[in-house]
Amino acid sequence: MPTFDPRSFIITSAVAGILCSMIFFVLRRSFPREIGGIGEWGWGCVAMVGGAFLFAFRDTLSPLLTVVLANTLIVGGIVLMHVSLRRFTGLRAGYGWAAGLLLAVAAGLLWLTMVADNYRGRLEFITSINTLLFGLSAWFLFRMKKQGFAERFTGALFAVEALVSLGRFYFALAGQNSDDYWNDNSMVHMFYLASFSIALVGLSFGFMLMVTTRVQEKLEYAASHDDLSGAYTRATFFRMMAGEVLRARRQRRPLSLLLIDIDDFKRINDGHGHPVGDAVIRTFATVTAGELRAHDLLCRYGGEEFALLLPDTALDEATAVAERIRARFSEGVFDGLPSFTASLGVQSAEQGALEVAQMIEGADRALYIAKKLGKNRVEIAPEVGHASGRDGMAPNRPLAQ
């Protein structure tokens, strides 16, 4: 019966780790910097590759390198993967506790190798540490507020590897293995070594899915949101508004639209400069969004003008929302910004009775009236279809197409 050669699993782990680390270093250079943890994961793979190579030369190099340093590198690779997960979610990396843990691992291995020379003791020590680290990473992923397939998949792999390490710890503790590494041919030991090769590739694949999903979300957000204000873009807003109009008509629910214009915005730009004007736009969008429900839709309609769609909102409620927004800027003082006000036009449709163009037309007329009557006010749209607004004033701005 052929004997088990641990080198085959070691070499497999090393090759897989090299490929994974190369992929993550490439991703770190090409993906947005705000996506953290990519580099740490790559270095984690490098650490595990270094440990695997040192294991392969156990019969020729000093135990100080092939046992103490090799195992410390393996543990360091797992620690870096956990650090990577923390950075990916925006938390502090925690390099301090990571360095302290590695020092403790190295000290324990020094004692169990250079002083006691206890293979079984080393195995129990390392597998217990690995169990805790893999389990901690699984627990971290399963507790994430926003979980998708990638997070659940990666968390499950961490959990499986924690169970494998726990099983290896149990059998080592029970004494069901050889006291010599190279003669340890038990099925448990074979499965334990093989799992590291599979886990390194599987975990890296899972984290890669997490990263690419995050990049896709950022690209979708950038395509649908205005980069200055963070509100929806005009094209996205019209597409979503069309869906809300159909839903309101189908469910016979009210729907309201507000068009909002920051008063005298040109004066702000000319008198204080465009950077201040940009800050006013950002502040307006942020403060307004804070006054809204989760399903309300805020759009930067163009320049200093915004559109706000209020699903399931009748005219009286929409007017109250508009007045609250107007008062917020009329009475508010924002650090570093000149005072400014806003004018708002309101158009409501009972039971989804109006089309998108009709709602835009009505809100546009109401906003025109509010500007003509002195600004810093809320006006309700006159009856849709009339050619003139209040006091015979007709809108002279082009309507949205």
User: 148 by DSSP, 3-state: which?
Assistant: coil
> Residue 173 — very low, low, confident or very high, per pLDDT cuts 50/70/90?
confident
Each residue's pLDDT tens digit, 314-366: 999 999 999 999 999 988 778 889 999 999 999 999 866 789 999 999 999 99
pLDDT above 50 for 393:
no
Between the CA of residue 365 and those of 345, 358, 395, what are the distances in Å?
7, 11, 6
Of the candidate CATH numbers 1.10.1740, 1.10.3470, 3.40.30, 1.20.1070, the domain formed by 6-224 belongs to 1.20.1070
What is the DSSP secondary-structure string of 69-111? IHHHHHHHHHHHHHHHHHHHTT----HHHHHHHHHHHHHHHHI
CATH number of 234-392: 3.30.70.270
pLDDT of residue 9: 63
Residues paired with residue 356 on neighbouring β-strands, in sequence order:
none
Each residue's pLDDT tens digit, 83-134: 999 999 989 888 899 999 999 999 999 998 888 888 888 888 999 999 999 9
pLDDT of residue 59: 75
Least confident of 5-14, 219-228, 299-308: 5-14
Domain boundaries, the chain: 6-224, 234-392
pLDDT of residue 179: 55
Question: For residue 241, what are its two tokens?
Answer: 């508004």
pLDDT above 50 for 282:
yes
Each residue's pLDDT tens digit, 40-85: 999 999 998 888 888 777 778 888 998 899 899 999 999 999 999 9
pLDDT of residue 128: 94
pLDDT of residue 196: 76
Each residue's pLDDT tens digit, 250-277: 999 999 999 999 999 999 999 999 999 9
Are 296 and 310 contacting, i.e. CB atoms less than 8 angstroms apart?
Answer: yes
Whole-number Å distance between alpha carbons of 177 and 99: 31
Whole-number Å distance between alpha carbons of 181 and 191: 14
pLDDT of residue 387: 37
Question: For residue 22, what are its two tokens?
Answer: 């190369």
User: Pick from 78, 186, 182, 58: which is nearest to 126 by CA?
Assistant: 78
pLDDT above 60 for 400:
no
* Average pLDDT of the chain to the nearest whole number: 86
